[in-house]
């Protein structure tokens, strides 16, 4: 099984959404996980709400710590956050998406970030399928 790792600071919003979309639309033989440098205690309620709108339940997801073990064997790592706090990730291929943090945004603005993440995930899947 090939693996994509989505990374941000708290693993409570952007990376959780990206992981959920990737796993919903994943090509055969691929899976995704997500993690953060300083994981929050829970997934942000607005992330849960926004994904519920998409028919995806992430309410049982738990933020995870970015560890060396989690990075081992990753085919692609995506850093979804922006700014100085973003983690350094060790993987064969690393992309930086520089997404603003929707945690403090009004729901409508956070919805736009969710939609942008979805578009980027679908583009990533297309590129993976093309080789």
> How far apart are alpha carbons 27 and 17 in whole angstroms?
17
Q: At what angle do helices 45-53 and 14-25 cross, to 10 degrees?
A: 30
Q: Identify the active-site residue in 40, 86, 103, 105.
A: 86
Q: Identify the active-site residue in 4, 8, 18, 110.
A: 8
Q: Identify the active-site residue in 74, 81, 91, 117.
A: 81
Q: Is 8 a catalytic residue?
A: yes
> How far apart are alpha carbons 110 and 14 in whole angstroms?
10
Q: Is 112 a catalytic residue?
A: no
Q: Is 22 a catalytic residue?
A: no
> How far apart are alpha carbons 34 and 115 in whole angstroms?
18
Side-chain half-sphere CA neighbours of 45 within 13 A:
2
Which residues participate in catalysis according to the annotation? 8, 81, 86
């Amino acid at each position: 099984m090939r693996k994509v790792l989505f990374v941000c600071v708290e693993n409570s919003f952007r990376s959780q959404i990206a992981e959920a979309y990737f796993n919903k639309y994943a090509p055969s033989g691929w899976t995704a996980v997500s993690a953060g440098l300083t994981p929050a205690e829970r997934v942000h309620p607005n992330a849960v709400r926004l994904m519920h709108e998409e028919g995806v339940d992430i309410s049982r997801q738990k933020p995870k710590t970015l560890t060396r073990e989690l990075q081992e064997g990753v085919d692609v790592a995506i850093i979804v956050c922006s700014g100085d706090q973003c983690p350094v990730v060790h993987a064969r291929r690393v992309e930086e998406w520089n997404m603003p943090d929707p945690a403090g945004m009004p729901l409508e603005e956070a919805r736009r970030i969710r939609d942008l993440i979805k578009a980027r995930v679908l583009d990533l899947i297309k590129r993976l399928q093309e080789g």
